Amino acid sequence: MFIQTNPLKDKVEFFEAGSIEALEKQITEKIEDNQAIMLGVHHVQHNTAFDPKTGQRLYTAVVHFKAEKK
């Protein structure tokens, strides 16, 4: 078993949801989780597309987390 002792400096996470509210909820929960390991939001990029199979809107986001300065 390997245990990493180096702190995380950068982390990028991807999100996808069927509604903007659901996407916002996912991101908010992950922000709270990452604050526990001392990562703050550096950049957020979001996009809306149509799912070709269903014709429904698909909301996506990329969130870049960086280590918080002390």
pLDDT tens-digit readout, 14-38: 999 999 999 999 999 999 999 988 9
Rounded to the nearest 10°, the torsion over CA 15, 17, 23, 26 is -60
What's the structural domain count of the chain?
1
62: in domain = no
Residue 67 in domain: no
pTM of the model: 0.81
Average pLDDT over residues 47-63: 93
Q: In whole angstroms, what is the distance from residue 56 CA to residue 19 CA?
A: 10
The parent domain of residue 32 ranges over 7-45
11 within some domain: yes
| Residues ≥6 apart with Cβ < 8 Å to 26 | 15, 17
Whether 45 has a pLDDT exceeding 90, the answer reads yes
